[in-house]
Structure 1
Amino acid sequence: MNIKSLLLGSAAALLAVSGARAADAVVVAEPEPMEYVRICDVYGAGFYYIPGTETCLKVGGLVRYEIGWAETTGDDGWIKTTKARVNLDARSETEYGTFRRFIELEYANDGGSTLRDVDGDPIGYEGDSTTSKVRYAFFELGGLMVGRNDTLFDGDLGGEFDAGGGDFINQIRYTFDAGNGIAVSLGLEEEDNNFDYIPLITGKVSVSQGWGSVDLFAGYDDRFSEFALKGIARVKATDALTVELLAAYESGATWFGLADFYEGYEWSVGGYLKYQVNEKLRIGFGGQYFADSHFGDFPSNTTVDVGNDDWTVGAVIDYTIVENLNAKLAVNYDDGDSFEDGSFNGFLRLDASF
């Protein structure tokens, strides 16, 4: 037997064994196709397609730590607050336009509080408390918006000293986009649960151009049959300097009160200068004057004129430490007829967003 015969015999033996085992061969199943997350850049950065749908989703949030102070009765230390916000923004296209759903939840912890007597003196310690709330929960389709959102009357200056009236509220609103930076909105808002059958009526006209923007607001409250008006202008004086102006008028007590709900002033004017020093640093300074205070007296169903005149000034420093980490330092001073003495207040705030 030579080498050639040996190799041929071995090959024949292997073929025979393979044929004998062919009936018992293991069949490997084909892997199921996987759908990886797809980026959705139609609505901007951060959106991705929800697997199996044409809906785009963006997950975001904020972690905030704030240290504040206020020269008021009972001011015995720093006022500290930690907040966590989580939001979901889902959007898709329909025959009626973009269908958007937005939710933002907030959790806040004050780190503990001090028990005080009627004179404001500390008498003990109360454990820290965590509060939670729904800040936003609404959907938009075309120009229609339904749910919990900022009141349509919402709008103020860029500082931390000012007041513009309004808050979060359940509502239905419609916005007509007229093009060329012009939009007109009308809203029906409910100031309280089971309050009455007549909603607040709000309106807004916005003009946005290359030089800046102008917003005109109006609100009517049937509780005392009063209305509120407001105008805010933002003008880009230079590439770095922005000038903001505010004027407001209240015929009487409304939910849109500049001081609080159903507490306000007959008229108010204010201004704010904002200067962009560089890509990371922005500074601002401004003030607001409030004239002829009033409040709503529910038992008599009338507006009570108090007549106090007050004013406030403030300065803000905004600094971007790194991307998505911002610091804000605000210092304000309040004075006028409603204050026994003028007082300072302010805060240092750190916002870490994602």
Structure 2
Amino acid sequence: MNIKSLLLGSAAALAVVSGAQAADAIVAAEPEPVEYVRVCDAYGTGYFYIPGTETCLKIEGYIRFQVDVGPDESGPSSWDAFTRGQVQFTAKSDTEYGPLTGVIVLQANADNATFQDTILDSAYLDIAGFRAGLFYSWWDDGLSGETDDIGSPVTLHNSIRYQYESGDFYAGISVDELEDSPFYNGETPNNVGVAVGLGGKAGAFSYQVTAGYDTDNEAGAVRAMGTVAVGPGTFGLAAVWASDPGAYYNAAEWAIAAEYAIQATDKLKITPGAQWYGNYGVVNGATDADFGSDDAWKVGLTVDYQITDNFYAKATVNYLDGDDIDDVTTGYFRLQRAF
């Protein structure tokens, strides 16, 4: 009886074990393959492939703290501080027409804890020399210091342009929507402007010529600018002329600006500058806009210092005086970390 019970128990145990072995085995799931970010060196440093695509992306920007100084800078106060954060996304990919580029620049400014704004600073596409979207015009360019006043009062437009580039030379034409530019003689927003630009380098000399015509204000402007390496620095000279006050230039009928950017050390640059305005200011802007009949002049000094890699300080002070205006001194101090 004991032997029989033992045999029956052993048989049952073997059947249970056999059934367990016959059941589906528990198999651990294979881990998902990880696609690591790959460096893209086809368009310069800082680009990487967006995983799963052949599009290269670069992310860069800066953080800025600045204190502006001048009469009534913030209400009755003569100074005002603000902070800015900016980030730029640049995407590039190869096509049969050449690189296709898309750029988005987001900018946030904070004058204080409650008065803040976030804006789209630029957003455009670029392919085969054609660019369309929101971007800065050639009139945004200037000399390297902070004294010259030779650009448009508003330089960011919804535009479409074509720019030809070959080596150290470029030339292009742009059609600009001048919706938030100055308006005179009873004109209203949403007029059109046409700008052309050309420039390049020849050895130590660089040059740029820019012109624009504001169709509603019927005002044209042209500017020539050049720089050349001289001694320990770079000498810059610019001249601008406008037929009437308009969107492309409205500070004076004509102006000449000069500066000398002295590279004192690898980290320190000192730039004195000066500008002369002929027929300064705008009179009768609402009815029959014209430039004034008085002259003005401006002098200033800008100091740039690289504290360490990607961390910079800048300070500038400028003095403006004229025949029929009160003299004014303005300036700012800035700290900026780029990435």
> Is it true that 1:248 corresponds to 2:237 in the alignment?
no
TM-score, normalization by structure 1: 0.82
Q: Corresponding residue for 1:286?
A: 273
* C-alpha distance in 2 between matches for 1:344 and 1:110: 22
| Structure 1: gaps (5+ residues) | 1-16, 113-127, 258-262
Q: Corresponding residue for 2:211?
A: 218
* C-alpha distance in 2 between matches for 1:184 and 1:107: 33
* C-alpha distance in 1 between matches for 2:336 and 2:18: 69
* C-alpha distance in 1 between matches for 2:224 and 2:263: 24
Displacement of 1:349: 0.1
Q: Corresponding residue for 1:173?
A: 161
Q: Corresponding residue for 1:329?
A: 315
Q: Output the amino acid matched with 1:233.
A: G
Mapping for residues 1-354 of structure 1, pairs under 5 Å: 21=21, 25-71=25-71, 75-111=76-112, 128-166=114-152, 167-177=155-165, 179-192=166-179, 199-238=192-231, 240-257=232-249, 263-295=250-282, 297=284, 299-300=286-287, 302-340=288-326, 342-354=327-339
Distance 1:49 1:310, change over 3 A: same
Contact preservation (8 Å) 1:189, 1:200: yes
Moved over 6 A (4+): 17-20
SS in 1 for 2:334: strand
Displacement of 1:32: 2.8
When the two chains are superposed, the root-mean-square deviation of aligned CA atoms in Å is: 2.4
* C-alpha distance in 2 between matches for 1:71 and 1:32: 63
TM-score, normalization by structure 2: 0.86
* C-alpha distance in 2 between matches for 1:255 and 1:322: 39
* C-alpha distance in 2 between matches for 1:321 and 1:22: 73
Distance 1:169 1:68, change over 3 A: same
Contact preservation (8 Å) 2:72, 2:78: no
Q: Output the amino acid matched with 1:49.
A: Y
| Structure 2: gaps (5+ residues) | 1-16, 181-186
Q: Output the amino acid matched with 1:162.
A: D
Contact preservation (8 Å) 2:71, 2:77: no
* C-alpha distance in 1 between matches for 2:19 and 2:244: 99
Distance 1:175 1:273, change over 3 A: same
Identity rate, percent: 32
Displacement of 1:201: 0.6
